[in-house]
Amino acid sequence: MGELLDRRARKKAQTRELIRSVAQRLFDERGFEAVTIADIAGESDVAVQTVFNHFATKEELFFDGRTPWVDAPAEAVRAREPSVAPLSALRTHLVSSVHQLIGSMSTPERRCYITTLEASDALRSHERELVHESEIRLQTALLEAWAADPSTAPADPEAAAPLIAAVWLAARRSLVVGQRPRLARGADPELTAAMVVDVADRMLREMENCAEAVHGFAAPLHADTGWPQTVRRAG
C-alpha cells in the first residue's frame, strides 16, 4: 500500500511539473494573455480539469516556482544567528536579494520572465498580492523573534511589525522594479546591481537606525549609514 501511494505521489508531482514547464514555456513564447488553460492542457496532453487540479489560476501557474522572495525575508529573520538582531538580519537579506534580483537580468530566461510580467496587468496585480503575502509572513516572523528575545523588541511590537514589513519590503521592491526600464534599454545588470546595492545598504541602515527612534527599540542601533549628516537629521 505504501509503495502504491509513493508511485501515485511521484506521478502527481511529475504531472504538476510537466504542466508548469509547458505553461511557462507557452507564456514566454506567446505572452500571458494569449495562452489559455485549454492550450496548456493540450500541450501537456492532460485534461483541462487536471490543470485546475494542480493550479487554481493561470497567474498561479506563471509564478509557480519563481517566487522564493515571498518567504525569504521571514526566513532570514527566523534563521539568523542568536547574536544577530532581527532587523540586522532582515537588512542583510534584503541587500543581498536586491543584488540577486537585478543581477539575474543577465540571463535570457529572467529577461523573458520580466518582459512577460510587465506586459500583463493581471500578472502585475498578482505580483502585488504576493508582495502583500510576503509582508504578512515577515510581520509574523518579526513578532516571533521579538517575543523570543525581548531585548531586541520595540516598545509596541504589534504596531511596529506591520509598518516595518511594509516599508522595508516596499523599499526593496522599489529599488528592484525601478531598474527594469534601464535594464530593458540594455544597461549592464551586474554594474546596475552593484550601484543599487550600495544605495540599498545605506538606505536600509538608515531605516534600521530610524526604527530605534520611531519604535523605541530596547537595543540601540548606531551603525554608520554613509548618508550625509544633514540628510540623517532631516530624516
Q: What is the pLDDT of residue 235?
A: 35
Q: Where are the domains of the chain?
A: 2-63, 68-234
Confidence of residue 217 (pLDDT cuts 50, 70, 90): confident
Kindly state the average pLDDT of the residues 117-143. 96
CATH number listed for the domain at residues 2-63: 1.10.10.60
Confidence of residue 149 (pLDDT cuts 50, 70, 90): very high
CA–CA dist 88, 5 (Å, integer): 44
Which residues neighbour 35 within 8 Å (Cβ) at sequence distance 6 or greater?
23, 26, 27, 58
Nearest-5° Cα angle at 215, 209 to 218: 80
Model pTM above 0.75 = yes
